[in-house]
A and B are shown apart, each in its own frame.
Chain A
């Protein structure tokens, strides 16, 4: 058991709590880098997909976990990122290394355009407004067929940076490293936002709008900014998803994906960057996990369509009922148990009893 004694304000906002923690993350990074040498191409592809989901999850996490706004239409911004990225590359001959940030930026600007009119909405109303935007985006893709290819879809070109080729099928490991690098950059950026005044104001708005206002936080501006940053990160993940899936249509980013994104971060643990990654692991590896289990144990088992979403739903119900803080919350409890070994008590993480009051008076 280690005791952290904070001697300066600096110590409070450092990236890592202490050297031990820093070295653990370093080991994790090294493991992630050498992964393609250890496993075969299929699994490298799966891990790339997991990282893309994790980026999208981080985008949504910033909004849901750190600012307390629910969005059920984030796949729309993935679509914006993906289409912007490919159109910039195909029609304007802009290289990937510029078009990727541009697509994130464009998604962010669109996010502002969405957040400005809907910014006054709260909770459930926000959720339904974003659902509507998700549905609108899906149909807009079809309507804007000259650019987006409509239901026929659009093909993502192979990525080429400084002569190195990143192709979905021939250079799987290279693509994985590229995605990993972008993921690490985004994590650093995310962490930086969280420890800056902006991140603190996000948390203030999440915990209580009225007290945040009293502390001098501009609520409207904070919420809009959070929406924009969240959309930009999601847009980048969408752009990567476009390259990863090679061809995509309006169906690739439909409303079910938006809902899945939200469920993903809830399973992982709302309010933690780790939660986005844990949730992404569940979403990515659950389908293959189910099919492997089925092949291993029930060879004569006939395939029930939709069993994945059924099992996912049941996992989700179990997580919400028994572990509202998600998988990462469970990990924190296990860690606390071993760190405080004989002194862990069952009620340490018990939540205070709360009573709901109406939202109809505000």
Chain B
């Protein structure tokens, strides 16, 4: 499946979904989500003393009748949150074709979903940011060959909603990376994108395993069931660590599985189902 087809598929599927309300109020332009400041929604927010120039219609006359002070009723503002989508461009993301295609689909799907809620997604690729039309164009030419530090990118916007798309299959600076992505955000959702063989390896026999991001790291192993089981246990432990670290930073982890070779419509539906199940998106 070509990348254009994947983007079109994601855009068409995203029409039926939207972002669930963020747990913490985010900043942004007027929109449909409750913001962190006072606004014009119908949800009561706070009281404050009247100041000249305030709208007289919001004076709480009952309070004035009780104690003679002029108190003003404040209501929640409604915003369209600012969403930053941070994508891991390391070569491990393109280790399997379907994994790379899954990442593209996920980016396009999230962008489409966000547009349904009048949000403007920002694609953060390393030190570059893309928004609007540039977002779509960047999806077409995105290359997963950047082996730079995943945590090194442009400063992120405070109180933005963040989606981090990566496989998180690294140990070094993992905590730093998670903390950086969560710091100052309204909410951070780490989307752990794994291929099927990474989630459940099917290697048996003698293999010389080489780290795709660092070919000098090799290991000759005779892989058997016990080694596979040990791999799974380490992966579970790794995921638990990511989830715990994310939680401490105010974020969370969602796992998405892609096939190894061919990314199909079924694969897209599986990713969407996983997003729904883990409440990353909701049905519009």
A-B complex is real: no
